[in-house]
Each structure stands twice: as C-alpha cells, then as structure tokens.
Amino acid sequence: MFVEKEKILTAKDLSKTFSNSSVQQHVLKNLNLSIYKGDFTVIMGNSGSGKSTLLYALSGMDRPSMGTITYFTDDSHTEISTYNNDKLAMFRRDHVGFVFQQNYLNDSMSALDNVMICGLLKNTDRKALTKKAKDLLSSVEINENDYRKFPTQMSGGQQQRVAVVRGVINSPEVLFADEPTGALNSQNTENVLDILSNLNNEGQSIVMVTHTIKAAERGNRIIYLADGVISDEIDLGPYAGDYKDESNPNLEISKERHQKLKNFLQDMGW
C-alpha cells in the first residue's frame, strides 16, 4: 500500500537575489521543494549553485527575496518567509536544528554548557534537560570526562559531535546540516555520518548539503541543484551500510545504491 509521506515544509517559488554594488545575482530562481518527515534529504550541486543559500532559506536562517516557506507543524501552517528577525529566531529555536561545517561552539563554555545553553532557550526543566544533554552526549561517545572540557581542549571530531548534539537538543522537526563533515578527517567523517544515520533511524528528519558521495549515500533522497534551480532528484531508499564492507549483510543493496547515485551524479554533469 502506498502511504503518502507527511510534509514538514514546502518552499514555493523561492527566489534569492543578492545585490552587490550595482550587480544583482539571482542565486535561487523560482525554486519549488517539499521536505518530508523521516527523510534524510541530501542536497548536492557544484560550488556556488546555491546549496547553502537554499539551506539558510529553508531553515529560517535567512529570508528569501521572493516566494514562501510554509512549515506544517503543530497541526497548523506557519508561513515563515515574512517573519521579522525576532520571530524567525523564535521559530528556529522551536522547530529547527543546524550543524555547520565549522562547529561554531562557544570556546568559553564547556561542551555540556554549549548544549545546555541552547536547550535552556526552550526548556525550563533544567534537571530533565541536563539528563537529556548528557544522554545525547554519551550516545555520541562524549563521556563525562570530555563534556567538562572546553571546545579548544577537544579534537575536531569530538567538537563536531557536540555540535550535532546541540543541533538536536531541542528535538527539532528537522535538522539542517551544511557540509557537516567538510572539515573532518576520514575517521571522524565516518563517525559523524554514523551519528546522523542513527538519528535518522530513530526518526529524525535531516536535510544535509554535501560535496561527497560518501556522505550523500547516507540519504534516501538526493536532490541536485544547478544554478539556483533543482535539476532532478532520485530516491535511493534507506542507507544500507558501506558498499565496500564485505561483512555488510546488505552488501548487494549497498552496491546498487552506490552505482545508482554515481549514475545520477554523472547524468547531472557532476
């Protein structure tokens, strides 16, 4: 039986134009897109194609020049594209999480406090929040010894794991991630991708921008952006493990997914 996926948000006729001195640059051009609950959506495309701009618009980090972004939350419709800065900040606090390429942790606070400060914007029950923060940190293998540390005392991989926890501490409807492994070595990349996959398996909806096939394979829906418009997209089905790992019980599916993604990207001229 075909079950229609539940929409989290819809962007309609989205445009973003930057004006630099006398030149206008049309970065997003009448783009239409819906994001669905439970999906791990991946956005790919060449450098400068507008991926970050799209992510910032969808997440309410920035406003589009034209068009609408409607969230379907709390059984109601919320149109955020016209919100002022204060309303957008409140909306983000309540509904979205964000992970950047650079972790942007506050260096003057411990890892735990970095997570807590974000959680306290929304939650008043400090005790319950502390437990949730510690549980989440421990799920990404940041133990008590580590979460007392300041970001500068942690490895890049540990810092980014803390940043992911901060992104999900308020149980966002959707977690946005802009090249979250772009600054990590291969071991840490694998580690952070595993964390994102686990979160998605537990139901967390994710929208991630990436430049690598390795990261994109984690998604089930791959969207290709070219010059500010969506060229095409494919449905890959859920991540089935590493296609190179001979002990992977889903090896055949993984290999097929990998090939399908490669073919798609080749068609897109990637």
Ligand X SMILES: Nc1ncnc2c1ncn2[C@@H]1O[C@H](COP(=O)(O)OP(=O)(O)OP(=O)(O)O)[C@@H](O)[C@H]1O
Q: Interface with Mg ion by CB under 5 A: which residues?
A: 52
The footprint of ligand X (CB under 6 A) covers 18, 20, 25, 27, 45, 47-53
- Shortest distance, position 222 Cβ to ligand X, whole Å: 15
Tokens 């073919």, residue?
263
47 binds, among Mg ion, ligand X, none (CB under 5 to 8 A by kind): ligand X
**Residue 49 interaction partner, one of Mg ion, ligand X, none, beta carbon < 5-8 Å per kind:** ligand X
Instruction: Give CA–CA dist 58/7, Å, rounded.
Output: 13
Give the number of C-alpha atoms closer than 13 A to the C-alpha of residue 107, restricted to the C-beta side. 4
Minimum distance from CB of 15 to Mg ion (Å)? 18
Q: Which residue is nearest to Mg ion (CB)?
A: 52
222-240: b (≥16 Cβ within 10 Å) or e: bbbbbebebbebbebebbb
How far apart CA 249 and CA 182 sit, in angstroms, is 29
Q: Which is nearer to ligand X, 119 or 228 (CB)?
A: 228
Which of Mg ion, ligand X, none sits in contact with 20, Cβ below 5 to 8 A by type?
ligand X
**Shortest gap between Cβ of 52 and ligand X (angstroms)?**
3
Least CB distance from residue 28 to Mg ion, whole Å? 13
Query: Which of residues 171 and 231 has its CB atom nearest to ligand X in the complex?
Result: 231
C-alpha neighbours within 13 Å on the C-beta side of residue 207:
25
Question: What angle in degrees, to the nearest 10, is found between the helix axes of 126-139 and 111-120?
Answer: 130
Can you say how many angstroms the Cα of residue 14 is from the centroid of all Cα atoms in its chain?
Answer: 19
**Which of residues 57 and 240 has its CB atom nearest to ligand X in the complex?**
57
**98 vs 243, beta carbon nearer ligand X:** 98
Distance in Å, CB of 50 to Mg ion, minimum? 8
> Rounded to the nearest whole angstrom, what is the least distance from the CB of residue 108 to Mg ion in the complex?
27
Task: Select 51 or 257, whichever has its Cβ closest to ligand X.
Answer: 51
Nearer to ligand X among residue 83 and residue 270 (C-beta): 270
Burial 8-23, CB ≥16 within 10 A → b, else e: bbbbbebbbeeeeeee
Cα separation, 137 vs 153, in Å, equals: 16
